[in-house]
Amino acid sequence: MRFKWPNPLGTLSLVLVLAGPASAAENPQIEVEEVLLDNGMTFLLYESHDSPTVMAGWTALVGSANEHPGITGLSHFFEHMMFKGTHTIGTKDIEADLRIIEEQERVQTEMRAEKAVMRARLRRGEIDDLADPASWTQRYRELSAEFDELVQRQREIIVKDELDRIYTKNGGELLNAGTTEDQTLYFVRIPSNRLELWAWLESDRLLNPVFREFYSERDVVFEERRMRTESTPLGKFDEAFNATFWEAHPYMWPVVGWASDIPMYTLAQAREYFATYYAPDNIVGVLAGDFEVAEVKPLLERYFGRIPRGEVDPPPVVTLEPEPVGEKRFNAEAETSPTVRIWWKGVPFVHKDMPVLDLLSDVMIGRTGRLYKGLVDGRKIANRVSAVIDAKKYDGIFMVECTVKDGEDPAAVEAAVYEEIERLQSDPVPPEELQKVKNRYKAFAYRRLASPFYIGMQLLNYAGLGDWRYINTSAARVEAVTAADLQRAAQEYLTETRRTVGIFLRKEGAAPEDPEVAALPSPAQPMVRQTLKQIETVEDPARLEEMIGQMKEAAGQAPPEMKPAIDLILKRAGERLETLTAAPEEASQ
């Protein structure tokens, strides 16, 4: 079983954020060739011969923003389904496999009818929880038992994780996937002489998928949601805060989906969703690494070109977030350090002002940034501060977050943030400060091009956001930003009516913050906390040992600046492994 980071895209962001300047570059560029197949599938090809490997991946241009109430989280669910195999991968007997799937669907259809009766009882207050077996009808219990028997029959002919094993046997590594609001991407790094194997495996996933274990996987995803949301200190609060910020846009629901929707997915919905959003004309593939472009084009046409174009076009996302009319506030007590969170409505990734807001956030962050100098070094009322833009495909957020120093008033921290913003609104950023931030940004853009693997990841990410060319244009666009642009953006976007403010106080009796995590750079902390939480839930020593090995392998590809975060994760995983392996011996004494 492969180890999955809590969020592969989040891990990528961590790598890129922590990858500090290596050297300045005026306008770093790479040569990318765009290839369009006859069926509408696009490929981005970046050739580099530094290492005999290829980052190979593809992204379906569908995420939680393409969903609607009732099927929220279905895009993320497909991330799981796409590892279940095909007619040839993942089964010992495809005919028996397909018969069992249809039998399962018959039983589930009857179960849905019974569940409708139970939901009516829930609305009348006759039962409290649909998941509680005590609330089930007698017929639902019978059907549930029949379904469990079918699951057991299917498990006898399933070959678990066969895709992963094929890749591993052939030198593949880092096989993973990730879902965001705007896309669902799949990637792996392979030896360059296994490129044809990748083309066959991935095109087979798109041409002949089998959604086996569909209903049992719903339970897996529901448990994943519980671990990430209900069982983490800020999970439920983050979700509620996000829903408060967005008024109309589908960005308001979580990528993993609402808890009530996940158990209601149907196989018919999934098949329709796949036919609509996983057609080749809604997919962008990326190859980055050791190959010859001229040689790979026929290979892509031979395998991916055989997939028929979609019969229907994906419906557009048409809901626009209305212009805010007033400040929103969110107050909560949680098991966290006192925190001030302020989100302003931003702009989409392709918007002309996105580079302006990006540079504006850079003026505010870092040890030489205005928030750090003003709140941490100067007034000493905050321990950590961050400012970042989250530019999505259809809209965006400008985020500021401050961890309040013990004994200080969150209201004073909030007021101090506004004072720094008012300075940006009233006074142009001095030329020397602006140039320093631009130099840092350009050096950062140069560093991001050091590895074909992360070049490939960026191409996938930017393609999903609507402009893969940003990998080449970002530095020039930022260089063109003026002090007047920054002042205008601060005045236009960072206003009272456009903001949502969250004040999180430490819940009485909550444990203090982990000092080792607190010592890490702010961008790393959320991912590290979530990963450590997952490690603590592992009960199987063999599984944890395998996870540690895979984490060490992945760590070898990360820049040195990530080392403290990775070392802490590996340290805690090792401690957890010692506890698990010592437990039987201690119990026998």
Beta-strand (E) ranges in 254-371?
283-289, 328-334, 339-345
- Burial class of residue 123 (count of CB atoms within 10 Å of its CB; 0-12, 13-18, 19+): exposed
Distance CA 226, CA 236 (A): 10
* Cβ 347 vs Cβ 337: under 8 Å: no
Query: Which tokens in the block code for residue 211?
Result: 């959604």
* Rounded CA Rg of the chain: 25
- Burial class of residue 212 (count of CB atoms within 10 Å of its CB; 0-12, 13-18, 19+): buried
φ, ψ for residue 53 (rounded to 5)?
-135, 165
Per-residue pLDDT of the chain (589 residues; tens, 9 = 90+): 233 333 434 434 434 333 333 334 456 789 999 999 999 999 999 999 999 999 999 999 999 999 999 999 999 999 999 999 999 999 999 999 999 999 999 999 999 999 999 999 999 999 998 888 999 999 999 999 999 999 999 999 999 999 999 999 999 999 999 999 999 999 999 999 999 999 999 999 999 999 999 998 998 899 888 887 877 778 899 999 999 999 999 999 999 999 999 999 999 999 999 999 999 999 999 999 999 999 999 999 999 999 999 999 999 999 999 999 999 999 999 888 899 999 999 999 999 999 999 999 999 987 789 999 999 999 999 998 999 999 999 999 999 999 999 899 999 999 999 999 999 999 999 999 999 999 988 888 888 888 899 999 999 999 999 999 999 999 999 999 999 999 999 999 999 999 999 999 988 765 566 667 766 765 577 677 778 877 877 777 777 877 787 777 666 656 555 777 888 888 888 878 777 776 444 434 4
**Cβ–Cβ contacts within 10 Å for residue 323, how many?**
9
| Residue 131 CA neighbour count, 13 Å, CB half | 9
The reported pLDDT for the residue numbered 567 is: 81
DSSP 309: P
SS3 label, residue 266: coil
Distance CA 555, CA 559 (A): 8
- Dihedral sign for Cα atoms in the order 380, 239, 520, 562: negative
**Beta pairing partners, 176:** 187
Closest to 103 (Cα-Cα) out of 164, 49, 149, 41: 149
The reported pLDDT for the residue numbered 556 is: 61
Residue type, 391: A
Which distant-in-sequence residues (6+ apart) come within 8 Å of 219 by Cβ? Answer: 263
DSSP 209: B
SS3 label, residue 580: helix
**Cβ–Cβ contacts within 10 Å for residue 68, how many?**
12
Distance CA 203, CA 195 (A): 12
Q: What angle do CA 321, 324, 329 make, to 5 degrees?
A: 115
Query: Which tokens in the block code for residue 557?
Result: 């590809």
The Cα-based distances of 312 to 275, 306, 308, 316, 332 in angstroms read 8, 18, 12, 12, 45
Distance CA 535, CA 213 (A): 25
The reported pLDDT for the residue numbered 162 is: 96
The reported pLDDT for the residue numbered 447 is: 82
**Beta pairing partners, 285:** 43, 58
Distance CA 244, CA 238 (A): 10
Closest to 167 (Cα-Cα) out of 54, 81, 284, 58: 54
φ, ψ for residue 329 (rounded to 5)?
-130, 145
| Residue 545 CA neighbour count, 13 Å, CB half | 7
The reported pLDDT for the residue numbered 553 is: 65
Residue with tokens 């274990």: 213
The reported pLDDT for the residue numbered 558 is: 61
Residue type, 298: P
φ, ψ for residue 427 (rounded to 5)?
-125, 130
Q: What angle do CA 186, 191, 192 make, to 5 degrees?
A: 95
* Cβ 206 vs Cβ 307: under 8 Å: yes
The Cα-based distances of 497 to 184, 319, 323, 350, 491 in angstroms read 33, 21, 9, 24, 12
Domains and CATH numbers, the chain: 32-91+160-309 (3.30.830.10), 94-157 (no CATH), 328-506 (3.30.830.10), 527-588 (no CATH)
